[in-house]
A and B are shown apart, each in its own frame.
Chain A
């Protein structure tokens, strides 16, 4: 906790913040709920839930369509969320923010538009072995359509760190786009996003950063990072499900054909032709998720009031504590870097399948993730079918980690009896 001491004057009252999350105050299978699955989806503070209700109770209508009062309010709320997102990411302009359904759709959008136009036969698409299926399959399918080559920066075994020597070797001018995760959802690795983006830029290579695990967990600044695209989901950063963000550098958006077509994204339509709006609206066909944007706006306000650096340090300390306690147990295989890891820990018990660990943890009220965490090829490479994952947020406590360790010990004793 020594790092937090540095921030002592502004150190958040974590206990009070936790009480902002109504869902955490319940028992599961007769035990107090310990939610250690925020990597899959975070819980929502009262402020977000209330913002959505308030919007529906007072301001809802369709956006950009009516000239009546409610439509004006809805439009202002929606475009206000866009401005807020631009500030959240330190983007140049709100027009560099496109709302999508989430990380997955954001990546599919880029692969289907920018990728479709700029990646050709013989070109290379570079990923890392850490990628979530969402940042793998859209590129794999694009490569297959185009006859392009798909390469992966390999990770160094269980450490989950992409091999720096291989980045040097694979990141060449033959690469059209380098798409990589900022924080690995399986390993907790924090990739050197700014360094990679700078090197790619110098070679004329476009970059896409998957910030699904980082946007709500640490400061994310697209100007400092220097990426071309950055994507994340609202539901992992305290916001509602159903909405996500695609940040795109202005000149990148300008060189992309439309994604979906229909209402809202057109300038003029004729029977046999149509003219499309530029970004952001040109990439947002149809009625958007206005209430989702309102909730996401409230979530970003809430996060920035706490300070994402504070959150990062809190989660990092908790994960480091969990990592140390679990490694002391013996017979536990831990994945990801031993130091400089983000707020999650994946592990396996000798001879116990992750599913069995997760079921027993659930009986003790502890929500863990078990499986391949949408990263099948990586698990295959590590020679495991699945792993158990505890992922933390600022509402989790050291006592909850202690409970987790106790339960893991129980599981081990049970299966080794």
Chain B
């Protein structure tokens, strides 16, 4: 089992929120800047890696029951975003790796994509 704490070390990430939630299990992950795709394709408990830092990212994570959010490229969200995540119990991490690199590092650990594949005519 891989938890948030291990994800955090692998990404040299800083914890912005949810220090007490680092034992949360990470089953699968999704790297996206398109919340439309996150809302359509992810399953519950998926870890989201994204380059966006707006309020919609937190809303999407809240409404889709995601595991946590990792902001890539060292991009820090504003205070209001952190407050919204706090109110919804969503851990926030920030890593200096790019989206591709961060996803690759997690894949290396054995975390799989959610979804694995999408078929156009599904």
> Do A and B bind?
no
